[in-house]
Each structure stands twice: as structure tokens, then as C-alpha cells.
Structure 1
Amino acid sequence: MDNRNNVTEFILLGLTENPKMQKIVFIVLFIIYAITMVGNTLIVITIILNPRLDSPMHFFLAYLSFVDACYSSVNAPKLIIDSLYEKKTIFFNSCMMQVFGDHFLGGAEVILLTVMAYDRYVAICKPLHYMTIMNWWLRVILMGVVWTGGLLHSTIQMLFLIKIPFCGPSVIDHFMCDLNPLLDLACTDTHMLGLFVAVNSGSLCFLNFLLLMVSYAVILSSLKTQSVEGRCKALSTCGSHITVVVLFFVPCMFIYMRPAMTFSIDKAVAVFYTMITPMLNPLIYTLRNAQMKTAIRKLFSQKEILVSQ
């Protein structure tokens, strides 16, 4: 920790300071987190155990579920536990680790969703060469890009953040440590750093979102030449992915594509993209994917047979 810092811990105000509302928050968020972990873990296990789900699409879907489970776990457990207490604190180093985890896994998810869009582009626009193009080595390389990109993004953020002096007050009007709330507490001019945050995090979200929209425009235009059955199947798969993209990217762009300032709605938006979206992703993909639904039913039927024996 920098010697200029007099702050060893931060006080979090959480989602609400109303004791009755905190109990409701605890119940609701506990249920959301439980569904998130069960749903995403179920998808990962189903894809690993079912040899029929060995396509590139399911390979990336398993990783998306893994990232979602990890991403939700960065903030959710502490937020749930904090809702039981009146005073909520977090040590300085734990706060920095939370920021790092948020941006490492968030950045990885942004890039992974773009990689999944490329996978859909190849599958729909070049179906005869799909398995040849999306071979095992390319999948490994693309996942390497995902993790490296997330690590690079979060490391750059942290290199600037850890140099900021904090000399009090140490109260963060949020339920987690994030860049904009922390910049509000710095005892130095953070105007340029605020612009950097918008450029780094904001541009990562916006450029990938733009790339995704362009790729889906190309995919939709290519559907004109396909059969009605192929068109419906492609639209179903792409519809799931576009839904996930919008649910994740729009809140992220709202938070990071603006000057460093905080609004009262930021907490609700943060809950949405850190907890609600990771919960909805497995539901969206399984409900719209016949193969996944069949594989999950088969997995449970095998468990029932084993239990009966």
C-alpha cells in the first residue's frame, strides 16, 4: 500500500441502510446467487459429461458459465453477508482485489461474448467449413486471448488505481469497491484518471458491442439464402446470444462510458450486471437450446437410475 494513504479500510453503505430492507435484500440476493451457482455449474457439468456436446459453441458456453459463476462470486457473497450487519467494512487490500477481480472477469466475459459471436458467424455463414475453421487449437488460442485480454485490462486499471492517495473520508456509497466510487474518495485531482477509466473500460465495452452488432448484421443478411428451417435454427441460437449481450453490455456502458461520477441508480445497475445477468445466462441458453435441455434431462435421469440402484 502507498505510504501516502491514511486509509486502511473502507466503509460500504451497501444497497440500503434500512434494517427491514436489508433482511429482504439478504433473502433475494441469496436466492439469486444460489440459482446462479447451480445453473452455471449444471451447464459446465452437463457439457463436460455429455460427449455429444463437443461442438465449439458448447465449448465456449461452458467457459461462459464458468466465468459467470466466478464473476458473480467476486461481490455476491460479501454483499449477502453484509446485508446481515449494520456496519459494513472492507480492508484496503481486499478492496483492491475486488476491483481487480471485477475487471479481470468482466473484461474476460466481454471478449468471450465477442468470440462466441465469431463462432456463430462461422457456423452460419460458412457451415461446410465450420469444424475445420473452429478446430481445437483455434478454440484454445481464442480462450487464451479471452484470459489475456481480461488480465491486461484489469492490470492496467490497477496500476493507476493503487497510486491514488486516499486520506479520508473512507465511506463508499456502494455495496462494492469500484473505480468511480473510489475516485470520489481520492484526495487528489482525478479528472484525467476518470477520463482514462472511460477510455479503458468504456471503450472495451463499446468497441466489442459495436463489433458484435456488426457481426450479427452480417449473419442476419446471410440468412436470406438459407432454408426456412436453417433460418429458424440460426435465429434461435443468435437470439439467445444477442439477449445475453444486451443484458451485459448496456449496463456496463452506462457505468463506464461517462465521466467519473456516481449516480444513485448505479447500485441497481451494478447488481444487474454482476448478479442478475450471470443468473439469467444459463436460463436463456438452456431454454432456447434443445440439445442442452435434452442433455440436462438425460443427466438427471442417469442420476435417478444410480440413486434407485
Structure 2
Amino acid sequence: MSRSNDPEYTSDQDAAESNGAAKLGSIYVKEAEKYDKSLVESWRSDMDGMLIFAGLFSASLTAFLVESYSSLTANSADTTVQLLTQISHQLSAMANNTTYTPLAQEPFKPATSSLVCNLLWFISLGLSLACALIATLLKQWAQDFLHRANMRSSPVARARVYSYLYDGLKRFKIHVIVDLIPALLHGALFFFFAGLIAFLLPVNELMVAIVATILGLAIGTYMFLTILPLVASNSPYRTPMTNTFWKLYEQVNNAWRPMDCHQDLVTSPIENMLYEAQKPAPSRED
């Protein structure tokens, strides 16, 4: 009789395969748990910093909005002065037996600089609050991710859950959301400075020039740090817009390169850094 038909041999073989799968699952779970905890902790620390900054920034911006919002409505003091002036002229006309025809009052129109300033600042406040909301949701998603990954005690089951959930992270591009949060906050800052220029425009031209220069330097530095990883893959500097510019850069390159020269494997600055790190370099071999 063949050993493959022996029930005891088959049982021992199944037990050995089960033990092997359990050991392999334990190793996978250990590494996956270490990676996922590190990833979630980095998200949490980033989100905590974003929430603190967004809260302080929103509070400061609200103080500016309280001051600037009054310029969008008619000043009650000016309206009172106009009414008193009309009454005075009418009384004078009655005393002199003359007829006084009040001038038609034009409806109040806020200055263009006030409209632009308040528009930019309200957009900035909206972006800051959206950043805080998404950061709060992301912290909840990260906590829920770890909770669901540890719901099963079997190493094989946990390994499958870890793989399934991580595939969900990649499929629904949660990394894009992680990069979106600081991008919203950066956008809120730029809108704030642009609104500050509009706010100072009717006040003093020198102050406008100083703020505009600071804003121009900030935008220039931001764009430089965004593009630098595309030129130097080992650059430690990057911004949330780096991945977007990388995709545009790759699309332009692929449009001009022959079809057989397309590099479809390099899809992000991180993968490009790993690819460049594998190349032999005399400076790193010394």
C-alpha cells in the first residue's frame, strides 16, 4: 500500500503543513505588526502636530476676520452722521423759509480690497478647519485599522487580515489623504498671506511690498523644495505636492521617450530613491 494512502501519514503531513503555515504566519504577523504600528504612530504624531497648528492658526485668523468683516457692511456711525447732516440742513431750510431737497444716498459698496481680503481669509479658514476635521478622522481610521488587524488570535488568520487591510490602504489611497492634510494647511497659510496683502493695500504701500516679498520668497522656497526630490532622489526635503509633480514629470518624460524606454516601475519619488540607491557609486563605496 502506498504511503500517500496511509491515513496516519496523511494526518502527519497535514499537521506538518499546518505547523509550517502557522510558523510562516507568525513571522509575517510579527513583521506586519511592527510595520503597521510604526506607520500608524507616524500618522498619529503628524496629525497631532497638524491639529495643534490648525487650531492656533484658526484662532489667530478668526481675530483678523472679526476686524476685516466690519468693512463689508456700512458703518453705523457714518450713517448716523449723514442723517444728522440731513436733519440739520432741513431745519436750516425751514428757518430760512426755503426748500431743502435731500440728496439721494447711494447704496453702500465695500471696497474691492475688502472683498478680496475677506474672500481669501474665509477660504483660508475653511481649509484650516477642513485640515483639522480630516486629521481627526485619520486618527480614528488609524486606530480602527490596528483594532481590526488584531481581532483574530490565529497567526494565519491575522496574517490574512493584515494583508487584506493593507491592500485596502493601497487600494483606497489613504497615503494621498495623509499628504492632503499638510497640503490643505499650506494652502491656508498662502491664502492668509495673500489676504493680508489685500488688507494692507489701502493702508500703506511699503507694508504691502514687505508682505508681498515675504510671500514671494515663501512660495519660491516651497516650489524649490517640491521639485528638489525630482532632481536629487536622496534629498531629505519634500512637500505634499512632490508626488503630484513627480507624476506630471513622469507623464511628460514618457510622452517624449520612445515606447521601449518607458520606466513604468518607478511610480513615486520613494521608489526612485530606492532605484538610485541600488546603483553602484564610487562615493558610497569608499
TMscore range, shorter length: 0.3 to 0.5
Give the TM-score taking structure 2 as reference length. Answer: 0.34
Q: Would you tell me which structure has more helix in proportion to its own residues?
A: 2
- Rg: which structure is higher? 2
